[in-house]
Amino acid sequence: MSFFGKMKNLFWSPAIEESRRPLPSIIEVNVNPKELWEIIGELGDGAFGKVEKAVSKTDRTLFAAAKAIEVQEGEQLEDFLVEIDILTSCKHVNIVNLYACFFFENKLHMMLEFCGGGAVDAIMIELEKPLTEKQIAYVARYTCEAVAFLHDNNVIHRDLKAGNILLTSDGVVKLADFGVSAKLKDRNEKRDTFIGTPYW
């Protein structure tokens, strides 16, 4: 194998090769996230593995929810590129921030805004009672502002539920988890499939 062929194998992966779209600029390829972020705890289990709490090594006041997804095929990567594209293009106070993204050793690492208040469904479980009408109105208002912003940018979330609505430590509402979301070409485009969480 030629020198350039060896270099391609070292710095590339089948998932990237098979992907039909260029990688967003936010994704740093073959950069070990542990060089820039330190894992300091575990937050729980997500759909693709455990979610950990991380702190930036360059700014010790910046915390993130870190998740690592093993990606072996281009189609898998395509699905996550949609989520990354939405998070990087739809910046809003009530939408969770994507701080950094890495593709390292066939894993996609996402550093998402840490929301210390937790998810609304977890808060209700902790309280052992439903939210009050005033609390529901507060959460609903800012969730609607996030959704309206998404719709203005031709994005549909497709999985609105209490588990995907987070609160920061200061009580700011943040819409999260864009794993099944879609970015439409224009306002007239529609989706004809059902997706998301039953009963929600």
So which residues are the catalytic ones?
A: 159
What is the longest distance spanned by two Cα atoms in the chain?
67
Nearest to 181 by CA among 89, 113, 107, 109: 89
178: Cα within 13 Å, side-chain hemisphere: 27
Give every CB contact of residue 113 below 8 A, 6+ residues apart in sequence: 64, 65, 96, 97, 98, 99, 168, 174
Would you say 91 is a known binding-site residue?
no
Query: In angstroms, rounded to a whole number, what is the distance separating the alpha carbons of residues 108 and 96?
Result: 18
Beta strands in 114-177 (DSSP E): 118-119, 155-156, 165-167, 173-175
> Which residue ranges make up the annotated binding site for ATP?
67
> Which residue ranges make up the annotated binding site?
67
